């Protein structure tokens, strides 16, 4: 996809991976609509990137659908139709099973999954109306591929983003639309997401489970920040990987190979759980793929 002159809309763009993506897109000549809930770093990012390209900055909480609709409209009025959408805003926190609460479930799902849903729903109809090549980039996590090592709230939200992205990509391709989808599954990237997430968690109100989780998350945050700063790749490096993937139309972007053993083990466990034989007798080879394709055709006709 040609990025020079394209209008990009990026959530969570003030720092971390979002800023890394914005910098990489700016170097390609893309115009930038930057959004974030943190106004000071957002202004700083906009001032920096305005030296490279045309920039518009907007305060946006991705959970607020009405605000999202207003910002989407204003961004396209100022910069032109958005053809690169980066649903990047997110949070991460290390909860324990005994500390789970509805407040934390809502926070994780509303931002990590709901923010992506709101981005897709705000811009995909516009992209379909424009009918021009476009690309949607959804930030998930390596935790969206591996159900181990991270808390169930974060993992659930990121698995959902991976599934959403895969399904949307396949449906758009099958229908012949010139809109592609990429899902980001980073492992360790040197950002301050733990600290910014801790601030959001601390602002929630609830019962003893929540208060216990808040105390634990506050205690662990400095250790997480130190670990990702030491082991993580720079956000700008990951931003370049994202741009390369958009240009090459790749579905997945991973930052490293740290999870390869866990991904391999999970895949092998799924394959080993499959029945040895197809449960319905079908003549000929490849009956599973034939049945699946017949089901796909039926769904498309319905």
CB 181 within 8 A of CB 175: no
- The backbone region for 177, taken as left when phi is positive above 0, alpha when psi lies in -120 to 50, beta otherwise, is beta
Token pair 């789970």 is at which residue? 100
Q: Is 12 exposed, middle or buried (0-12, 13-18, 19+ CB in 10 A)?
A: buried
Q: Is 218 exposed, middle or buried (0-12, 13-18, 19+ CB in 10 A)?
A: middle
Number of residues assigned to the chain:
302
> What does the alpha-carbon distance between residue 210 and residue 24 come to, in Å, rounded to a whole number?
38
Q: Which residues are catalytic?
A: 154
């Amino acid at each position: 996809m040609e990025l020079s002159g394209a209008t990009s809309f990026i959530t969570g763009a003030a720092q971390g991976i979002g800023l890394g993506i914005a910098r990489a897109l700016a170097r390609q000549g893309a115009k930038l609509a930057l959004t974030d809930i943190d106004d000071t770093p957002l202004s700083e990012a906009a001032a920096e990137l305005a030296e490279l390209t045309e920039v518009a900055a907007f305060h946006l909480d991705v959970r607020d659908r009405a605000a999202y609709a207003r910002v989407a409209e204003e961004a396209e009025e100022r910069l032109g139709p958005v053809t690169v959408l980066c649903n990047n805003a997110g949070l991460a926190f290390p909860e324990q099973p005994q500390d789970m609460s509805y407040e934390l479930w809502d926070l994780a799902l509303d931002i990590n999954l709901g923010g992506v849903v709101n981005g897709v729903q705000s811009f995909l109809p516009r992209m379909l109306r424009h009918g021009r090549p476009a690309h949607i980039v959804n930030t998930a996590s390596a935790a969206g591929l591996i159900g181990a090592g991270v808390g169930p709230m974060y993992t659930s939200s990121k698995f959902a983003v991976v599934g959403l992205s895969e399904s949307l990509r396949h449906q758009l391709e099958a229908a012949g639309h010139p809109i592609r989808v990429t899902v980001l599954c980073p492992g360790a990237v040197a950002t301050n997401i733990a600290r910014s997430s801790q601030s959001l968690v601390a602002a929630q109100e609830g019962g003893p489970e929540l208060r216990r989780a808040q105390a634990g998350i506050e205690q662990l945050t400095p250790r997480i920040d130190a670990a990702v700063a030491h082991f993580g790749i720079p956000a700008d490096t990951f931003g370049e990987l994202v741009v390369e993937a958009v240009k090459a139309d790749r579905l997945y972007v991973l930052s490293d190979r740290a999870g390869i053993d866990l991904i391999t083990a999970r895949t092998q466990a799924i394959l080993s759980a499959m029945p040895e034989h197809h449960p319905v007798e079908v003549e000929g080879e490849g009956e599973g793929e034939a049945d699946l394709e017949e089901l796909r055709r039926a769904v498309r006709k319905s």
